[in-house]
Structure 1
Amino acid sequence: MTEATVPFRAGGEGYASHRIPAIAATGAGTLLAFCEGRVTSAADHGHIDIVLKRSTDGGRTWGPLQTVARNGSSLAGNPAPVVLDTGQVLLVHVRAAADATEHAILRGEVKPEDGRRVWVQHSDDDGLTWSGPREITPQVKKEDWRWYATTPGHALQLSDGRVLVPGNHSRPPTGTDTGAEAKYYDGHCMLSDDRGENWYLGYVEETSDNYINANETTAAELPDGRVYFNTRTDSRSPGTRADAHSEDGGRSLVKPFRPQAGLVAPVCQGSVLQLRDPDLLLFAGPAAPGARAMMAVRVSTDAGATWRSAYTADGLPAAYSDLVLVDAGTVGLLYETGDFGAYETITFRRIPVTALL
């Protein structure tokens, strides 16, 4: 049996909704569970803070809610945390005006200063306190990009020290109708070679035929040093997932994103995690083909080429998720779920590694 706790519940602790989970484990063994605290509604825009709960017992209990990033009464969201080899915790996220809806941004109706911009802050004490935010938008967002999102989910520090944050963006449509909505999401990642001080763009994949549109992307470093990317896609390609590999730490892709129809899922964010012993690449996401429901973990032993089912939490509604290694024998799954809707709670589940073999 797996153990489950509920760190975030809709309507609790001053927020109408909690969405977009991300989780990281510090060197001291503390679990840091982040999400968006949506103040007045479950909408993707409006007054949104990034909130955090800490666990020092492997996710069995959780401390009080902390507001980590606040943008006045506007949006701070899409938390992408990563614990560095120094012990410092970086939190990359986006900010935007409260009334900057995704539709308006895609149509180019939002001024750049009100649109999606990228910020970073850090903690030097295991997530107890946090620095002020620092904007890095000019380093990682091209001037003609409209939409912009980090991950969602955790970011990575690669074995050579490089920090990698998957992302997606949109561009203006081609042609004369400059006010038209952008037709595609495109993929990219942002990189730092000095532990978050300076940033630059890694691969940028932009398509024009809508065969695959790389939307919300997650990544893992494989044992051989390659980086595996898995992305949500809603396009003409088979299935709803696509994947790709990088051999140069995210600077470029070996091949463009290709369909990964072996992962049956609705159009939804998913998360990946590489285990080293045993050598397993994990994918978490809803497994119901046409609905956000039935949170499951799938396993690959060939770097994402093929997948098999390993663990299903239950048959309930479920949506976004993130994975973390709690200890040598336990994987943690932080995910949106509920009895009658996918966004009632953000639940944490401890899964024994033996359950995935």
Structure 2
Amino acid sequence: MRALLSFVLLLGTAPAVAHAAEPRFDQHDLFTAGSAGYQLYRIPGVVVTNKGTVLAYCEARKSDKGDWGTINVQLRRSTDGGTTWSEPKTISDVPGPKVKNPVAVAKKLGGDGEVTYNNPVLIVDRKTGAVHFLFCLEYMRCFYARSEDDGQTFSPPVEITQSFEAFRPHYDWKVLATGPAHGIQLTSGRLVVPVWLSLGTGGHAHRPSVTSTIYSDDHGATWKAGEIAVPNTEEWVNPNETVVAQLVDGRVMLNVRSESKPHRRLVTTSPDGIGGWTPAKFDDTLLEPICMASLVRLTGKESDKTRLLFTNPATVDARKKITVRMSYDEGTTWPVSRMVEEGFSGYSDMAILPDHTVVMVYERGSVDNQSPYKSGSLTVARFNVEWLSEGKDRIAAAGALR
């Protein structure tokens, strides 16, 4: 009897058996070409606020002329993890007269009366709960606004173009752009936003180009320029749209698009996200079809296993086969990968829900089945690590990621 009682007590105190969660993947279109008065929706971004609200945003383009036509920034909110969404809302508006960028005028890119708002970036402030919003006007002015109500409303925009003047002694830019996609907050509280700059003399007035960061140490009140991170050289050709993550040792890593011959992503690190950037290196695993990518941290050093996620079209010659990759060693290797979309697929961004579900917004399909630059939709995909790793990821007790 005592033996039986001891066995029952032992069962009652035994640790729970670990069970992996079921693989999960679903997707639905969020912005559809030709709807609500816009021919195209491009350049997606997504963040998750401290309260778990998902904010998805993009460039809403009145025409298919390209980057210099009439473009607004639109945003949709979800308070149920990306299942249902609010109606689109325009959040870019600078009062007063607008002047077209002279380099666009010289190249006949865009016409009179067309106003280009471009390259939206959101950052969630984990310390204050605010949502920081940066965007550009005519690729030559930069503005900052913020939301104190989880992205429902934003403050009037304040111009911060002066912050970019510190770059001029090193690079006399005529075109500027933030991000696109999201910026990050470091553990120190510093806000870091990747930027790219161009002389505007080359193709589409976006070339030649270099990449860097701007940053704020006072929760967005003021912004300063960092050092040039990746210059334009014979080896590193036109580095531009850049994504960012903080590594578990505190360093800041930039993962950079370029037009370099190896067709691989460029990677550089800094101790503080401002300067001291290491010479850029090509990542042999990360193919580069010359397209924006996404980089986000899934789990950090408090986890049983740190995880970084990266996504872009996994080809060298076309915007298709968009693929998510996972790294357990802070981006040194990418042993896990899974394709999300085989056909036309381009720009993307990712954010992480409180339960570690990944929310990915990406350009999907083509309105003419020919051009990946004319996206059919911006699509939301939601998945967990079990789907991504096909059940081969190490799962913590009771199936929970840590």
Q: Fold match, TM over 0.5?
A: yes
Partner of 2:163: 139
1:15 aligns with 2:38: yes
Aligned-partner Cα distance in 1 for 2:85–2:207:
42
8 A Cα contact 1:329 1:354, kept in partner: no
Q: Which of the residues 73, 91, 114 maps onto 1:68? A: 91
- Indicate the larger mover: 49-58 or 277-286: 277-286
8 A Cα contact 1:78 1:149, kept in partner: yes
Partner of 2:307: 280
1:184 CA displacement: 2.8
Per-residue CA deviation, residues 270-312 of structure 1 (Å, 9 max, x unaligned), is 0100122441111111113311001110122222222234221
8 A Cα contact 1:220 1:228, kept in partner: yes
8 A Cα contact 2:270 2:277, kept in partner: yes
SS of equivalent residue, structure 2 residue 67: coil
1:168 CA displacement: 0.8
1:208 CA displacement: 5.2
Alpha carbons of 1:70 and 1:186: their partners in 2 closer, same or farther (altered >3 Å)? Answer: same
Name the amino acid aligned to 1:122.
R
Aligned-partner Cα distance in 1 for 2:64–2:45:
20
Whose helix proportion is higher, 1 or 2? 2
SS of equivalent residue, structure 1 residue 196: coil
Partner of 1:151: 179
Alpha carbons of 1:309 and 1:323: their partners in 2 closer, same or farther (altered >3 Å)? Answer: same
Q: Using CA pairs below 8 Å that are at least 6 residues apart, which structure has the higher relative contact order?
A: 2
Aligned-partner Cα distance in 2 for 1:151–1:211:
22
Partner of 2:282: 259
Percent identity over the alignment is 34
Name the amino acid aligned to 2:84.
T
Per-residue CA deviation, residues 4-56 of structure 1 (Å, 9 max, x unaligned), is 12111111112111110011111111100010011233511121110000011
Partner of 2:101: none
Partner of 2:111: none
Partner of 1:222: 247
Q: Which of the residues 71, 74, 95 maps onto 1:51? A: 74
SS of equivalent residue, structure 2 residue 341: coil
Provide the alpha-carbon RMSD of the alignment: 2.0
Aligned-partner Cα distance in 1 for 2:308–2:65:
32
Name the amino acid aligned to 1:124.
E
1:89 aligns with 2:125: no
Partner of 1:104: none
Alpha carbons of 1:80 and 1:300: their partners in 2 closer, same or farther (altered >3 Å)? Answer: same
8 A Cα contact 1:50 1:68, kept in partner: yes
SS of equivalent residue, structure 1 residue 215: coil
Name the amino acid aligned to 1:83.
V
1:298 aligns with 2:321: no
Aligned-partner Cα distance in 1 for 2:311–2:206:
29
Q: In the TM superposition, what are the counterparts of 1:311-350 in structure 2 within 5 Å?
A: 311-338=338-365, 340=369, 342=372, 343-350=375-382
In structure 2, the gaps of 5 or more residues are 1-23, 99-113, 394-402
8 A Cα contact 1:228 1:303, kept in partner: no
Q: Which of the residues 200, 214, 233 maps onto 2:258? A: 233
1:199 CA displacement: 0.8
8 A Cα contact 1:121 1:130, kept in partner: yes
8 A Cα contact 1:5 1:59, kept in partner: no
What is the TM-score normalised by the length of structure 1?
0.87
Per-residue CA deviation, residues 244-293 of structure 1 (Å, 9 max, x unaligned), is 1111x212144122111211231100010012244111111111331100
Per-residue CA deviation, residues 123-148 of structure 1 (Å, 9 max, x unaligned), is 11111111111110111243421221
8 A Cα contact 1:4 1:60, kept in partner: no
What is the TM-score normalised by the length of structure 2?
0.78
